[in-house]
Amino acid sequence: MGRIDQELQPGETIGYTIKLSKFIYLRLLIFFAMAGFFVWLSSLMPDQFLTSVLILLALVLGFPSILGWVAICIYLRIASVVVTNRRLISIGGLMSRSVAEFWLDRIDSIVVQQSILGRLFNYGDVIIQGNWIIRYVHAPTAMRDHIVAARQP
């Protein structure tokens, strides 16, 4: 939390730390499983051409999914979103630093969007004032409730 602590003003306290859902790994896991299936299927093919095509498909699906997995792991380590008693602060960036903040008293609208899977696995997107979208938030309604509670005097 050192990066967030540097952004806090005197008298400001952290009320809620927003966690991103681990569900973002699911698509990559599906692609990686498909790549494994193609590798397994290629071992059953007697034709060298079909084996080569299946291995190529496995590489096309597997390599980007591994890179995406690494990118998401890095992103989850460097991205922080918190609700304080005054602001909503988002800090990101690996080499550089990007800070976005919304003053709670100036937030007019908060929209929570959840698909059917989002409802089942408790994740969704939170849209603040129509222009700032935080995707794959774990427990998005709890985030909304904390922002609304922090706005109350």
pTM of the model: 0.74
Position 153 scores a pLDDT of 67
Q: How far does CA 39 lie from the centroid of its chain?
A: 29
Position 37 scores a pLDDT of 93
C-alpha distances in Å from residue 103, one per residue of 34, 114, 139, 150: 45, 25, 21, 11
Domains of the chain, by residue range, sit at: 26-74, 81-151
Over the chain (153 residues), the average pLDDT of each successive run of 10 is: 77 87 85 92 88 92 91 85 89 84 87 92 89 88 89 74
Position 1 scores a pLDDT of 53
Position 23 scores a pLDDT of 82
